[in-house]
Amino acid sequence: MATFTVAADFLEDIAEGVHNLGTGTLTLALSITAPASEASDPTSTGNGVVGNITQIAYTNYTDGLTVDRVLEGVTSAETGDVYKLDATDVVITASGGAIADFRYVYLYNDSATSPADAIIGVWDHGSTISLATGESATIQWNASGILTIS
């Protein structure tokens, strides 16, 4: 099971108005490089932007994906003092060739401008995901949503 790590900058970014999770363009970025192995760890304080991620090459996707993956079906609501962010599960399918191996799935706000492309967090799948032509991987959110804040 994948483990989720909130980026160190995320809470400060919320407090300072960087994120509007209800209306922002929430996007996934895929990487094979561990956060701590990046030149600037994107989960550590002051480094929470997509520019600090070594992304895989986005080729051979059935949906024509050429850069990152925008989440669909995003819902955002507060009920009983708990805020919940959710979206439709993401299916990645290789077509016309293999997709570059990945292990880390970053969630970021593509609408954020200062800082640009602010990272919300990252899932570590725990092992490399390799997809040959015709194979798929589903990024399935927790039953309680992508994240909750209380």
Q: What is the mean pLDDT of each run of 10 residues along the chain (150 residues)?
A: 87 88 88 97 96 88 59 89 90 88 94 93 95 90 86
Q: Return the structure tokens found at 36.
A: 């701590």
pLDDT for position 19? 86
Give the pLDDT score at 127.
95
Question: How many distinct structural domains can be found in the chain?
Answer: 1
Q: Write down the pTM of the prediction.
A: 0.91
Residue 145: its pLDDT value, please? 86
* Helices H / strands E in the chain, number of each: 1, 10
At residue 17, the 3 state secondary structure works out as coil
pLDDT at 70: 78
Domain ranges, residue 92? 3-149
**Residue 1, pLDDT score:** 57
